Structure 1
Amino acid sequence: MTVRDLLPHRDDYDLRPRSLGADLLAGLTVGVVALPLALAFGVSSGTGPAAGLVTAVVAGVVAAVLGGSRFQVSGPTGAMAVVLAPVVAEHGLASVALVTVLGGTIVLLAGVLRLGRVVTFIPWPVVEGFTLGIAAIIFLQQVPAAVGQRSPAGENPLVAAVGAVGNLAPDTSTLWALAIVVLVAAVLVLLPRLHAAIPASLVAVALATVLAEATGAPVARIGTLPDTLPAPVLPGFDGAVAGDLLGAAVAVAALAAIESLLSARVAATMSPGSVYHPDRELVGQGLASLASGLFGGMPATGAIARTAVNVRSGARTRLAAVVHALVILAVIYLATGPVGRVPLAALAGVLMVTAFRMIGAGTVRAVLRSTRSDAVTFVVTAVITVAFDLVEAVQIGLVVAAFFALRRVARASSVHREPLPGAAREGDERIALFRLDGAMFFGAADRILGEVTDASVRADVLVVVLRLSQLGMVDATGARALAELVTALEQRGMTVLVKGVQTRHQKLLTTVGVLAGLRHENHVFATLDDAVAHARSHVGRAAQGVDVPQLDGRR
């Protein structure tokens, strides 16, 4: 990737009237949908609603212009809010800018190093388990606000939710908060059934705000918001503080990369013929978080739900995502007063419904019914996400998935003793022909070695022929096991012949000593017929009392 590849291209935009109109309408639609979410995610992250708005504007523009997807809509997300909340609780609000800048730098470097395809190695059950866990956390985080309480900073969302329900007192503020949550949820569920084009979340929040203002409901509000975009400021850098925050920055970067690439991939599948560039996407998202941190925002990622709305609204180019950010910018300059009166319970209602919509019941059933190992991976990832840490959940999910995958590969790797081709001859019982299938790697090497050795010793075999042409993969451990097998059989007085060494395996088998362990350099054959003929000649000479090793000539 060159610098030129990272710069905006002329074909990123189509300014013909028809496409321009579609992009403007799609951008307006997404902006209206994104406004309450930006506020809600800012509040739930602990950084405040203003940070959510700033992130949607600054990161939204930068990622739209420099990212790798023409449909991607970026900004604050629920998953990032979940990751950021404990960071704010532990290190304070002042740490957010530095964490955002450090995380953005890591994502930027990942893009420059062309690591964009790494996300394709994350198994589907891990992604779905992670998504389920995130949805559960988002819902649990809103429970205190839904009952008119404040969640203790840094407390596990499950513990905080249980505590809030346990301390529930049916006073006026609690009843009003619950009523507003119910109103918002009802609007979000029912309004799309009447007309899908109406921005249900915005209407729900507006109705809740009007109701609260008209009745003087004693509920917590968003409060004062800045009416201008703040000036960019470099975050203070201290080596010791940066070291303490490095772990949090890595977690932020990992989540930003994974969520953005998944969102870009979803957008590409929703629009036939569309493609995305994963490395450029990482560069764009890294720069978006860097810019957001400088303006006092939070880390940004590609937002799957908003990106999907963008595609479904008819977006044609990146202009739609830019327009979405400009719509929110207009709110900052023109409407922060009314927005500051929005009840926090209304935002809690929006996020609770959003959390439910993140969970696809059909997808959950499909994963659980697929295979036992995939179901276990899915459940483990989801549980660890809720109970412990998001990045640890992905890491442990990958380990669990890798364990089951390796076990399947190991079981598919096998050794079979085959009959010799052609008509049977005297002495054939002293020749053992083994075909090695699948993969000769660390998970299967020891078992295969034992099976060949045991079968050869029990049958009083004189010559062992190893067919390697069916081996799909050989690693260093597997090659070393083959070398040990050859050495062990030769030391027991058996002659080992090797047939069908693939060109791609030749160097490795030579390096670790498989071929050097053979009695003679001519004991490597390209065809089975030649190998069997040579084996039969060995048995024949042995039957006549001829010193076979001397005839072959040890090296």
Structure 2
Amino acid sequence: MPELFLILRSGYKKEYLGGDLFGGITVAIVALPLAMAFAIASGVGPEKGIITAIVAGILASLFGGSRVQISGPTGAFVVVIYDIVLRHGYEGLALATLMAGVMLMVMGLFRLGAVIKFIPYPVITGFTAGIALLIFSSQVADMLGLKIDQMPGDFLSKWQVIFSHLFQTNGIALVLGLVCVGLIVGAKRVFPKVPGPIVAVIFGAVAVQVFNLPVETIYSRFGEISPTLPTPSFAMDISLENIKLLFPSAMTIALLAAIESLLCAVVADGMIGSRHNSNSELLGQGIANIGSIAFGGIPATAAIARTATNIKAGGKTPLSGIIHAVVLILFMVYLAPYIVMIPLSALAAILMVVAWNMSEIENVKHLFKAPTSDVAVLATTFLLTVLIDLTVAVQVGVVLAAILFIKRIISVSAILDNKIATYEPLPEAFNDPDGIEYKAIKEGVEVYEINGPFFFGIADRLKFVLDAIGVTPRVFVLRMRHVPFIDATGMYALKEFQEKCVAKGTVLVLSGVQPPLLKDLKRFGFVGRVGEENIFDHIDQALIHANTLAVHHEKN
């Protein structure tokens, strides 16, 4: 259920209106230069950035699951969009975004919002830092005033082209860009409530017009900006061949939109003390991306910086996001002739500051104090993002993090014998009131314990336990009180072990089997194999049974 609908159903409070109005206006002022800058950096015209901020801003606020999020073009998409446009043109980008929008809606409808949150922090930090470096690199040419017809998409080639054109550096553009960087940083420190980006673009546009500075502007590169929204259309070649070709790009867009939106929602929740609905948010972002493309925009997602601005300015409900979009429409209608006066070096300055903030240097430094495996995931994701491809980086990063997680689970899972641990036990095991050292165990009874999840990572260890004992026991008690779950491989390992016990004339007894685990064992058919009379929920009952079997065997 969209958050806006829930708010309206419970009753929109009058005191919300002032905050929503001021928040929407404030964030629109911030969003205008950012939307254009992100669009230009993505290899498309500035009007597409404004269109995206308007359409996605309205639709995400109408159908999303967060109270105060502001959606539009963001830095996370710059690298992806530029690469797609470079290889497939805008029509290819449109189809990939349409597919991504459908994917996001499917994620929301199938309640996959919680799953996205499981992407490890080192992976997110690694590709975010990589994107930041790529954005910074993409703006160096405009900051230096270099006139390069077509900038390569990959990182190393981009810098080769930049170095080969350094002799063309426009000193005036560079100085203007550096002054704009100073204005953005200074405004944040001296006047924190004044949007630094709008100060920079106003200063840049005024300086260019008053002093007739020989620098490139939005108008000189892109021409005029239309003061109206285009007619919605899905005029693209939606063929099976193109869908296959663009599917990886669509997956990247969908994944980035989901991650960025849900991260933003978590940040917003912390700032206002609310709780978002992740599935509704994914559904809203899917609709927003489809709508953006219909009007000729680019991919969109929730923007953390704009959302924070909205909150600080007083935004209370999704209405602030709708107001922000309406104000942008007014800017587009009445300020189009002035917007094109903005110099590209001023927009480059904005994106360089954005890239610095995205890099999260302090978080990266802090992560380097984490375990070596986490540092390896961070570094791998970062390098793959910068040197190879963002899609590959996320996929490899997640797989690598999953492998390391499994390794850690294996390291804390063990199979312990009755007196001496086969693998190092947990310290508290020595003070266990149900420990074997306090129990009477007859000769011919062996007690081992599985400590931790019994899954494919440690399943093979059980196979060799009987061989390691040396003497074939009459009864083998396997304690499972600390087994929270068992997977198919673990089930199969148990079956093999039970068959080995039968072959050697050993009775297998299970102890500490809790109801959820017992349910899984029944479904697998293992209970029928071992016999319900040999399964107990406590070690005392299991040992009474095992000792009785051992004594009976001795008498016979």
Match of 1:228 in 2: 228
C-alpha change, 1:521 and 1:310, in structure 2 (3 Å) is closer
1:357-382 CA deviation, whole Å, 9 max, x = no partner? 12223321222212222222222222
Alignment match, 2:246: 245
- 2:208 equivalent to 1:212: yes
- Cα gap change, 1:305/1:249 in structure 2, threshold over 3 Å: closer, same or farther? same
Letter in 2 for 1:289: N
What amino acid does structure 1 have at the position aligned with 2:492? R
Match of 2:83 among 65, 83, 86: 86
Matches within 5 A, 1:320-359: 320-359=320-359
**Matched position secondary structure for 1:309:** helix
Aligned to 2:452: 438
Distance across 2 between alignment mates of 1:251 and 1:485: 44
TM-score, normalized by length of structure 1?
Answer: 0.90
Query: Is residue 463–residue 496 contact of structure 1 (8 Å, CA) maintained in 2?
Result: yes
Q: Distance in 2 between matches of 1:14 and 1:497?
A: 63
- The one-letter amino acid of 2:483's match is L
Q: Matches of 1:55 and 1:30 in 2, distance apart?
A: 15
Q: Is contact 2:466–2:472 with CA below 8 Å preserved after alignment?
A: no
Q: 1:511 to 1:277 in 2, by over 3 A?
A: closer
Alignment partner, residue 261 of structure 1: 262
| Contact 2:57–2:71 under 8 Å retained in 1 | yes
Q: How well do the aligned residues superpose, as a CA RMSD in angstroms?
A: 2.3
Give me the whole-angstrom Cα distance separating, in 2, the residues matched to 1:157 and 1:178: 22
- Partner SS for 1:196: coil
Q: Does 1:197 align with 2:211?
A: no
Of stretches 97-106 and 50-59 in structure 1, the one that deviates more from structure 2 is 97-106
- Contact kept, 8 Å, 1:151 with 1:160, in 2: the verdict is no
Q: State the match for 2:129 in structure 1.
A: 132
Q: Secondary structure at the match of 1:121?
A: coil
Could you say what secondary structure the match of 2:263 adopts?
helix
Give the equivalent residue in structure 2 for 1:551: none
Change (3 A) 1:218 1:422: closer
Q: Distance in 2 between matches of 1:443 and 1:391?
A: 28
Letter of the structure 2 residue corresponding to residue 453 of structure 1: L
Q: Which residue of structure 1 lines up, in the alignment, with residue 546 of structure 2?
A: 535
Correspondence for 1:118 among 92, 111, 115 = 115
Secondary structure of the structure 1 residue equivalent to 2:453: strand
2:533 alignment partner, SS class: coil
User: What SS class does the counterpart of residue 464 from structure 1 fall into?
Assistant: strand
Task: Give the match for residue 453 of structure 1.
Answer: 466
Structure 2 vs 1, CA of residues 526 and 248 (structure 1 numbering), >3 Å: closer, same or farther?
closer
Aligned partner of 1:163 in structure 2 is 161
Q: Report if aligned partners of 1:437, 1:472 keep a CA contact under 8 Å in 2.
A: no
Q: Which amino acid in the other structure matches residue 537 of structure 1? A: T
Distance in 2, matches of 1:424 and 1:23, equals 72
TM-score (norm 2): 0.90
- CA separation of 1:276 and 1:529: change in aligned 2, threshold 3 A: closer
Please, which of 472, 480, 483 is the counterpart of residue 495 of structure 2?
Answer: 483
Structure 1 residues 213, 161: closer, same or farther in 2, change over 3 A?
farther
> Which of the numbers 503, 506, 524 marks the counterpart of 1:494?
506
Q: Which runs of 5+ in 1 are unaligned?
A: 547-555
Point out the more displaced range, 149-158 or 296-305: 149-158
Find the counterpart in structure 1 of residue 424 from structure 2: none
1:234–1:526 CA distance, 2 compared to 1 (3 A) = closer
Encode CA deviations 1:261-314: one digit per residue, 9 max, x unaligned: 211121111112x12111111121111111111111111111111111111222
Mark the CA change 1:181 to 1:498 in structure 2 (over 3 Å): closer, same or farther. Answer: same
Q: Corresponding residue for 1:549?
A: none
Change (3 A) 1:103 1:524: closer
SS for the counterpart of 2:153 is coil
**C-alpha distance 8-83 of structure 1, shift in aligned 2 (>3 A):** farther
Kept in 2, the 8 Å contact 1:433–1:464? The answer is: yes
Q: Is 1:74 aligned to residue 66 of structure 2?
A: no
Cα distance, 1:350–1:12 mapped onto 2, change above 3 Å: farther
CA contact (8 A) 1:147 1:164 kept: no
Out of 105, 110, 122, the position equivalent to 1:108 is: 105
Distance 1:498 1:391, change over 3 A: same
| 1:463 matched residue in structure 2 | 475
In structure 1, the residue matched to 2:289 is: 289
Question: 1:552 maps to which residue?
Answer: none
| Alignment partner of 1:509 out of 521, 526, 529 | 521
Tell me the CA shift for residue 151 of structure 1: 6.8
1:137 CA displacement: 1.4
Q: Match of 1:408?
A: 408
Residue 222 of structure 1 and its aligned partner are, at CA, apart by 0.9
Partners in 2 of 1:505 and 1:128 — Cα distance? 37
The equivalences for 1:391-402 within 5 A come to 391-402=391-402
Larger deviation, residues 495-504 vs 84-93: 495-504
1:29 and 2:26 aligned: yes
Q: Distance in 1 between matches of 2:446 and 2:57?
A: 67
- Give deviations 1:483-504, integer Å, cap 9, x for gaps: 1112113312323222222221
2:100 touches 2:251 (CA, 8 Å); kept in 1?
Answer: yes
d(CA) in 2 for partners of 1:187, 1:527: 70
Contact 1:144–1:160, Cα closer than 8 Å, also in 2: no
- The residue number in structure 1 matching 2:382 is 382
Cα distance in 1 for residues equivalent to 2:79 and 2:505: 65
Which consecutive aligned stretches of 4+ in structure 1 deviate over 6 angstroms post-superposition?
A: none
Cα pair 2:3 2:63 within 8 Å, conserved: no
Give the corresponding residue for 1:181.
Answer: 177
Greater mean deviation of Cα atoms: 498-507 or 77-86: 498-507
2:54 is the counterpart of 1:57 = yes
Asked if the contact 1:100/1:299 (under 8 Å) is kept, the reply is yes
Query: Alpha-carbon deviation of 1:198?
Result: 1.2
* Structure 1 Cα separation of the partners of residues 440 and 361 of structure 2: 61
Of 307-316 and 153-162, deviating more is 153-162
Asked if the contact 2:472/2:504 (under 8 Å) is kept, the reply is no
Query: Corresponding residue for 2:427?
Result: none
Counterpart-to-counterpart distance in 1, 2:524 and 2:49? 57
Instruction: Give the Cα–Cα distance (whole angstroms) in 2 for the partners of residues 167 and 234 of structure 1.
Output: 39
**1:449 Cα deviation from its structure 2 partner:** 3.2
- Cα pair 1:441 1:477 within 8 Å, conserved: yes
Q: Identity of paired residues, percent?
A: 36
Number of equivalences: 534
- Residue pair 1:100, 1:290 contacting (<8 A) in 2 also: yes
Distance 1:439 1:207, change over 3 A: same
Which SS does the other structure have where 1:433 is aligned? Answer: strand
Closer/same/farther in 2, CA of residues 5 and 338 from structure 1, 3 Å limit:
closer
Tell me the distance in 1 between the aligned counterparts of 2:439 and 2:95: 77
For the 8 Å contact 2:130–2:359, the answer to whether it is kept is no
Task: Tell which deviates more after alignment, 159-168 or 281-290.
Answer: 159-168
> Residue type of the partner of 2:466?
T
Distance 2:123 2:117 in 1: 12
> What's the offset of the Cα at 1:524?
2.5
Taking the aligned partners of 1:138 and 1:321, their CA distance within structure 2 comes to 26
Q: Secondary structure at the match of 1:188?
A: helix
Which residue number in structure 2 is paired with residue 146 of structure 1? 143
